Structure 1
Amino acid sequence: MQPQSNSYRHAKLPPGYIRVLELQPSVSIDEALVCRLRAQTITDVPYEAVSYVWGKTAVYHTTIWCADEGDTETGAGMLRIGANLARALLAYRCLDEPRRIWVDAICIQQDDLDERLAQVRMMGDIFRNATQVLCWLGAFQDPAIDECLALTAIHFLREFNRDQGSHLQQIQAAIHKGTLNNGGQALQGSDDEQILFETWRAVKVFFDCEYFHRAWIIQEIGLARRAWLSWGRSDLCIDWAEVARFVLFLDDNGASVINELGLKSWVCNHINLVWSNKADGTPLYDFSEVLHWARVHLSTDPRDYVYSLLGHPSAVVDGQLLIEPVYSIVTSQVYTDLVINIILRTRSLHILAFVDHDYKPNPMGLPTWVPDWHALNLVAPLRCPTRAAPSEYQNVTIDKHMPKPRLRCRGTLISTIRAFSDMIDPKELAITDYDAETKKKLPFLLDHIYLQLVLAHPSETRPRADAFISALSLVLTGGFRGTARSLLRQPLGEGGGAGTRAGRGGLRDADGAGHDVDVHVSAGVHHQGRTARTRAAHSGGRRRGGRPPGLQVPARASAGGRHRV
């Protein structure tokens, strides 16, 4: 072995090749890490891929001795790696034989920008072709405590999936007894209930792991043939399929449990959403929706909110990536170029549904029609067919030669915004009983809105009550009128049996001019994706809301103006 003062120098990598390291065996956990690197094509010799959290990139706590295959002199030497990766390699190192592993920090020459870009383009194929993906949740901070938590959580996740309904009823019944404090810890109860809450506390710690909140893991797990999650030790592991089944069921059926215990399992369920498929095996969501579901995850480099998902099938349109992963351009250009490419290639304005911002200028200087994927999302677009942003967009042009690109759209004035409120807290919408209603920050919210929008106007310009209800319903549901394709082809007002005709209202502008409005309200609102029923209740700070202190009446505004409902 060479002196430790030597630094490892990566050999030049041929186009289309990757490096795979052979982690040398050791019977001692204390022995230094040693590996040999071999250049190969992705489909050559089988390998495993490691998925982990980099941690603080500027801090390196240990080294690994690296040498190229068949070369022990010229490029061999020490390579600095992060502490979390070092612990992962120590855990995955075999006792008596080398282990073939791909891991980005070692197998990619990080200071070679051209190689880094080429390897990022191949990242999807690297994880897709690995025999399995080893997901390292992290080392134990306090082994005496954390190892017990890991054993409890992993065992319970498997047990829960064997009888999901029964386990859910048990924790719901215990919660409804009111024996928890604000931190989700048991204040009292029987011994069995205490054990039950301690078990769920272990599950909470499991989902609190930083690993689950990292943007790159969405692709690394989603593309894996099989993904094994290890916590603290390589043998303390669970199949991702078990975790995915748990979070999907809990998100669909256990919102009260998630809220009361402060579980972050819903973050994992976003991985399920990203990789949801239709019956024919094609992606359920387009790339803009994939980016939306993934934005609750975190990335040090904001460009990776896009680049980390380029392995998703929806990122390819007409056989070409929607955007190339180029790290030499700034984030604002990445986000803007992506939107331009999506609009031009898909011939759809659906991407505009994911733009949300307040009145302050975007710190990156983004055009107002470009989503900021690394910012907090204020709203969630409706997951249903609407009349907004139709595919026929002959009147849409993009001027890319301006200092800031401009999107030009021609639309139709359909109505006038009479008033708008502050963001409505979703918890204020639930109507249970009179006593509960009187305890809300703003009791009888719909009555309050009706008072401000209808009764506050003179009788001669006042809209009819049924017209107000129709307009409010259409705004809240995005004009959704049902799921049948036959309905989607019908103009507003031709509802057939799937909905109820709300009536023809005489809405008037502030100047008294009247407009007949033909409206149609669906008999029921479609389920907005698997997790929409619980999203507002436990968005973990990624969405914000506040009580409406009172409706503000703006100046005359067109339907395309900035407004909040």
Structure 2
Amino acid sequence: MDTPSLSPCPPPRSSCYLPLDPDHTRIFELEAGTPSAPIIGRLVHQAIDDKPYEAISYVWGDALNRRDVVINGVTLYVTANLHGALTAFRHAPSVGTTRRLWADALCINQEDLAERTSQVELMGRIFAGGSRVLAWLGWEEGEEGRQHTLAAMRFIHEFMEDPEAGLRDSRILLRHDPSGASFPGSTLSEEEQGQFQAQTWKWKCIKMFFEIEYFHRAWVVQELGLAREAVMCAAVKPRADDADGIVALHFLDWPLVGRFVTVIDYGAASLVAHLDLLCWITHHTFMVWEVKADGTPACDFLTSMHWTRVLSVTDPRDRVYSLLGHPEATVDGQLIIKPDYTITRGVLYTKLAASFIRRTRNLDAVSLVDHEGDPCLQERLWDPTDEGRLPSWAPDWHSINRTTPLDYPIAAAVAEDDWIRVEGDILGTAGRPLPHLLVRGWVVDEVVALSHRMETTDFPVMHLAREQAKEHPFWLDSVWKIAFPADEAPGHSALVALEMLSLALSFGIKEADQGVSKAGLNQTFEEHHRSFAAYVMEYHKLWKDSVEAGEGAGCLPSRSMFDSLPVELQKTLRRRADGASDEGFLECMTWPSMCRVVYRTASGLVGVGSRVTRPGDIVCRLRGSSALMMLRRAHGHETITRAGVDGKAKERLVVCAFVGPTVVPARLKRGIVDGRKFGEEAVAFYII
């Protein structure tokens, strides 16, 4: 469903929309007809769990591009996209008389705010209650040889018969260019040229398939995730001279799409980045509904909000309301928050974050902050004219998500802390100060240097032509200069710095019996060492071959990262890389590192953090947070003195803004949740 606050239709006649009883909705009984026949049907009231119906999931599209429909004898208007879905889904006269469908634009009185709000609250039940959800992808235009949607649907079926072979075949696209350019010393045989062209066409279709607007709607997450059965539907648009024929629908099971995007996202991140595929967006939709072995949700409500930030909504408040069908949106039988279209998104998001912090006594909500720009360093007042005004510690779920949630497998501090408090006005009262967050913890260190923002296109090691085309050629060499500068005392050996860097880039752990990364191929610790060493050696080989060929002037570093290492460490890397491939490390680090920065602290610690990190930011260990956090001291007053928890003792609080979660592998050890074990300074924080 698209946002309930907009309507593409003129005010309908009231006779079509009699008031609804609680827990009831309307069903559209669509009469059969040929493609050229008018859309005719009637609206009937029923309890959601009464007679069976199918729910239509679709994109509203251009509100000004409208078509006639006749409902209860009254001519109304719907968008052209819904009209197309109704045309495709109705039975031909010889098949049946009516089809019972639910579609938001028809079944909800879009001119009645109270009804829209109440139906939004029931949306999860409506899609869960349908016998099937029909996901309308739109008409396929053009002749058969140009039907990319249908070709993509066929390819997904074929690919999932043997995913490993499919991935193996697809990697030819990483090794070669359409021009025939390839890695030095490699050429395309005639057979390989045929394979390259075949793979190019198939993945072009996949690229276009996941760029269909349908997959980028926030409401899709709930509509498909709650469905008993869901199918993707597309059809070739009837020709003008064959308007009375039967529409041939093509179907693709939604669970099969889920298995496909999961394989691609976890096993071929480099291919996704290279081809600029958007299948990862659809993977986010599936991640929201993942379950554990015991059947309980694997993805909590707030993390679901983060995964769906990349999806589009007309109204930013629907970031929350479109997920109210999630199993963890209900606590003790009550929704965590009721739909309310009278408050700003900033107030809504702040209330939601504060509610979770107070209820859980942890900072999981705060760990999902992903600032688009620098956080404000001064306390501010609520302003009802500013939709996006909210404190630095509350996630703005309407800004696009660019990072993977920082799910580091080793806890930085205790899971809960009763001392955590949200103080101040969370209702958005005009002129009142924004609420602040009080937490306890330790200062780990201060940032002194950082890299450029890392992009997925920086990571793969290809040939020199592609390297030169990157925004940051030989990015690993430049990142290494930050992690272990030759002209400064880093505080650690090159080996320690190298391992801190490799583990931070993949959110890795330091236990040999655990998988290194949750966001990739889940390598063992030994496999991680070997694949990272192979990755370093691949970059060194590219640099060395380019120097020997006299190519890459202006692009090549003066020397490679490998050459800058001590001789004994070079031998270690050569030994580890022997017989290994860089693919494992590349797949494990692509999503965790995307749009983050590498930084070095004053004592030489190496970490990965938010793209808005700045020198002077402080790495902190906060009670109630499993992740380390980055804070920035506020302007004007770095500390304040106030009454302590017991109301008697005085305490000093560092006044700061929240920057984002961060990873510093050297300061994360299993079982150590007290910063005093590392000699860190205990501090209380007042986060504006």
Partner of 1:561: 631
Give 3-state SS (helix, strand or coil) of 2:396's partner. coil
Shift of 1:288: 1.3
User: Are the counterparts in 1 of residues 423 and 436 from structure 2 also a CA contact under 8 Å?
Assistant: yes
Q: How does 1:466-545 map to 2 (within 5 A)?
A: 480-482=509-511, 533-535=589-591, 544=595
Partner of 1:42: 48
Give 3-state SS (helix, strand or coil) of 2:44's partner. strand
Aligned residues: 499
Which residue identity is paired with 2:213?
E
User: Are the counterparts in 1 of residues 31 and 90 from structure 2 also a CA contact under 8 Å?
Assistant: yes
Could you say what the CA RMSD is over the residues aligned between the two structures, in angstroms? Answer: 4.0
Distance 1:416 1:102, change over 3 A: same
1:90 equivalent in alignment to 2:93: no
Where is the strand percentage greater, Structure 1 or Structure 2?
A: 2
Partner of 2:225: 222
Partner of 1:490: none
Distance 1:345 1:481, change over 3 A: farther
User: Are the counterparts in 2 of residues 423 and 546 from structure 1 also a CA contact under 8 Å?
Assistant: yes
User: Which of 400, 403, 421 is equivalent to 1:397?
Assistant: 421
User: Which of 5, 11, 22 is equivalent to 1:15?
Assistant: 22
Partner of 2:608: none
Partner of 2:395: 371
Partner of 1:444: 477
Q: How does 1:5-84 map to 2 (within 5 A)?
A: 7=13, 9-26=16-33, 28-57=34-63, 59-67=64-72, 76-84=73-81
Partner of 1:518: none
Shift of 1:254: 2.5
Partner of 1:359: 374
User: Are the counterparts in 2 of residues 132 and 224 from structure 1 also a CA contact under 8 Å?
Assistant: yes
1:406 equivalent in alignment to 2:444: no
Partner of 1:524: none
Could you tell me how far apart the structure 2 residues matched to 1:422 and 1:193 are?
A: 34
Which residue identity is paired with 1:294?
T
Distance 1:475 1:252, change over 3 A: closer
Q: How does 1:260-299 map to 2 (within 5 A)?
A: 260-299=274-313
Shift of 1:87: 0.6
1:449-507 per-residue CA deviation (whole Å, 9 max, x = no partner) reads: 2454x8535xxxx734377678767866779555999xxxxxxxxxxx9x99xxxxxxx
5+ long unaligned stretches in structure 2 = 1-9, 182-187, 237-247, 377-385, 426-431, 515-525, 530-583, 603-612, 621-629, 633-658, 663-688
User: Which of 299, 320, 323 is equivalent to 2:337?
Assistant: 323
Partner of 1:71: none
Distance 1:484 1:107, change over 3 A: farther
Q: Comparing 229-238 with 263-272, which one deviates more in the overlay? A: 229-238
Give 3-state SS (helix, strand or coil) of 2:310's partner. coil
Whose relative contact order is higher, 1 or 2, with alpha carbons under 8 Å and at least 6 apart? 2
Shift of 1:136: 0.2
Distance 1:109 1:321, change over 3 A: same
Which residue identity is paired with 2:222?
Q
Identity %: 34
Q: TM-score, normalised by structure 2?
A: 0.64
5+ long unaligned stretches in structure 1 = 68-75, 486-496, 501-527, 538-542
Which residue identity is paired with 1:163?
D
1:99-121 per-residue CA deviation (whole Å, 9 max, x = no partner) reads: 00011111011121111111111
1:138-179 per-residue CA deviation (whole Å, 9 max, x = no partner) reads: 123x33268732332222221221122223322323653433
Give 3-state SS (helix, strand or coil) of 1:139's partner. strand
1:422-461 per-residue CA deviation (whole Å, 9 max, x = no partner) reads: 4344665678999999993556245412454x8535xxxx
Which residue identity is paired with 2:591?
R
1:194 equivalent in alignment to 2:197: yes
Partner of 1:336: 350
Q: Comparing 226-235 with 202-211, which one deviates more in the overlay? A: 226-235
Could you tell me how far apart the structure 2 residues matched to 1:266 and 1:287 are?
A: 19
Give 3-state SS (helix, strand or coil) of 1:36's partner. strand
Q: Comparing 169-178 with 369-378, which one deviates more in the overlay? A: 169-178
Q: Comparing 246-255 with 283-292, which one deviates more in the overlay? A: 246-255
Which residue identity is paired with 1:377?
N
Could you tell me how far apart the structure 1 residues matched to 2:614 and 2:52 are?
A: 65
Could you tell me how far apart the structure 1 residues matched to 2:617 and 2:589 are?
A: 34
Distance 1:139 1:483, change over 3 A: farther
Give 3-state SS (helix, strand or coil) of 1:81's partner. strand
Shift of 1:268: 1.4
1:510-559 per-residue CA deviation (whole Å, 9 max, x = no partner) reads: xxxxxxxxxxxxxxxxxx9xx8654368xxxxx64689999999458563
Partner of 1:313: 327
User: Which of 477, 480, 488 is equivalent to 1:456?
Assistant: 488
Give 3-state SS (helix, strand or coil) of 2:76's partner. strand
Distance 1:98 1:431, change over 3 A: closer
